[in-house]
Structure formats: structure tokens, C-alpha cells
Structure 1
Amino acid sequence: MEKAGDQLAGSGEETLFLVWHDARDREIAGEGPDIFCLAENLYLVRSAETLSSLYHAVKRRTQPGKLLVARLAGPPKFKGMAEGALKWVRAV
């Protein structure tokens, strides 16, 4: 049974998520067009997965002590992130 917060992301439409974890030397996944590393352990992820599915996938891969996975309603505002971040967000 999906939680109410998972319904939109599980509809097959891609959603933008913000992901942060505290695990050292652990990437959430390989490089690809659907993941952008903004800063150490801070990522934007474009995915059709549910919030819960993405959360558990990152949790299994990184084994963090602290983890945040949040669905974004739109592109975030930011400053001082990795080169190419704004270009990546605009392409989403």
C-alpha cells in the first residue's frame, strides 16, 4: 500500500528529489543524466520512483547514519553548488 506522499512520484511521471546523506565516500549511484551531485553527499535526482522506493534504495547503497530524501515541487534556488548545476536543473 502506497503512502499518500508516494502517489505522485509513483505515477510513472518523473519527479525531482533532493537527497542528502552523511555516509563518507559513498555515492548514491553512478553518474548519469538523472542524478546531479550539487556538493559532497548532496544530490538532485530525477526519477519515476516513489519517495519511499528512492529513500530505501539510497539507504541500502550508502548505509548512512543520517538521510534526507525530499520531493521537490519545482527547481530549487541555490548558490555555490557544483559547476553545471544550474544548466542541469534548467534541462529538467
Structure 2
Amino acid sequence: MTEEESDDLDLSTLSDEELVEQMHDDLYDGLKEEIEEGTNILLERGWPADKVLAEALVEGMRIVGIDFRDGILFVPEVLMAANAMKGGMAILRPLLAETGA
């Protein structure tokens, strides 16, 4: 998916499963704003913060890590993905602290 197609995609119209898969792609591409939007959408749909963290963010970074290990991604791309994850974590951190997760 090109960046232009990603801009046109309305994340709120995706099913939960499709949204999580899109978030994995967005993490991979280092798209911080899309990760923040996806995180908020999942929370609005009633997902607990720890589930958003585990299934959307951590799993997306696991995919990034595998491709880094295999030489498909390099340090700059991994840093962009990590920065995108920080956007989601900024939203989740207070919620995780409230629940003690």
C-alpha cells in the first residue's frame, strides 16, 4: 500500500482484525499518527489497554524485529517503527498504570 492509499484509508471502517493488521503495517512503515488513531479506535471499541498493547503494538514490533534479524529492515526503519509505537504507548501508558498492567 502506498502512502497515498494509506492516507485515504478510514481506519474506523475496518473490522477489529483488519485494524490490527493495518496497525502492524503502519508500525512497519513507521506511521506514528496512524498508530495513535488505531490505538484510540480500539480503545473506543472497548478493547482493554493491555490487549491493544499485546495484539496491535507488541505483535507489530515482533514482525519488525523478525525482518530486522533477517536483514530485510535496517536500524533507521526499526527506529521509525519504535517511534510510531511510542505514539501508541503515550496513549496506553496512563491506562495501563490505572489498571496496574
Which structure carries more helix by proportion? 2
Return the structure number with greater strand share: 1
TM-score, normalization by structure 1: 0.28
Under a length normalisation based on structure 2, what TM-score does the superposition of the two structures give?
A: 0.26
